Every structure is written in C-alpha cells, then in structure tokens.
Amino acid sequence: MPKINLLFMFENNPENCSCYIPALRQSAIGTDIQDAKEKALELIPTSFENLVLLDNYFEDIQVAGETFQALIEKSEETDGFICYLPNFRLGGSGETVEEAKTNALKIIELQNIKTDRYKATYQMVTVDLSDSNVVEHTEQIVW
C-alpha cells in the first residue's frame, strides 16, 4: 500500500486552529486541532501521481533568549527563502536563509516580542493513498 509521512503543524489561538502541511504548502482552519486536521486531510491528493512535495526543514532560532522552531522553506515566488516562526505567526523572506531569518527577527522585534505567543504543535501523519482514500495514522511530535 502506498504510504507517505507528512508533518502537520498546528497553531492554536482562542478563536481557531490552523493546520499547515509544509511539504504541500497547504493549510486549513478549524475550530480545534481535530477539525483543522480533518480539513487539511481533504487537501491531500488521493494519488501519488498528483502529489508534489516541496522542500522545507525546521531550525532552532533564538528570540529574546528563548529557542523556537523556525520553518525554513524555499520561496516559489521570489526564488529566495522564507523563515516562519509558528509561535509568533510571523515570518520573513530573503534571498538567502540567513537573510530570511534576520528579516523574520526584525519583524518580530517590530511587533514587540512581548506580545502573546501562539502554541504550535506538530504531528507526523502517515497517509495511506491506496484505493483513492486518504487514511491517516498520527504520531504526536514534541519539540
């Protein structure tokens, strides 16, 4: 059976929960994690022929003496990079990874780093694409 592991990133706030799948650059909004995950699963193509995975990775980044996970993605639009910090729901872009990280930190600084931070959680979801049904098995990831 064809299966693939996809990272789901969740950002909660009192109003809603967003679920982002970095490898697909797809996101969904729900009322809570389960609702957001169900909506995100609907975005996954039901066959490998239609599945295009994009490069990304996480890296530790220091903000005001604390360590946070930053999502680093290649920007399709600018041929540069995006550095996104889920805990702040802010990011920056640049021609290099270092420039994107620097710009993200500048934006956070301008937004006042003392503002409320969002709780970001991650799950590795094994998606079974057999029989044109998207079926998932989830493993919680703690960073």
Section 57-77 average pLDDT: 89
Distance, in Å, from the CA atom of 58 to the CA atom of 112, rounded to the nearest integer, reads 23
Give 27-43 as a DSSP string. Answer: EEEESSHHHHHHHHHTT
Model pLDDT, residue 141: 59
Cβ neighbours for 89, distance < 8 A, ≥ 6 positions apart: 11, 118
- The residue whose two tokens read 């970001």 is 120
| 129-138 pLDDT tens trace | 765 556 666 6
Q: Give me 23's structure tokens.
A: 């490898």
Write out pLDDT tens, residues 100-111.
999 999 988 887
Candidate from 14-18, 109-113, 117-121, 138-142 with smallest mean pLDDT: 138-142
- Residue 45 per-residue DSSP state: -
Q: What single letter denotes the amino acid at residue 59? A: E
Please state whether 102 falls in left (phi above 0), alpha (psi between -120 and 50) or beta. Answer: alpha
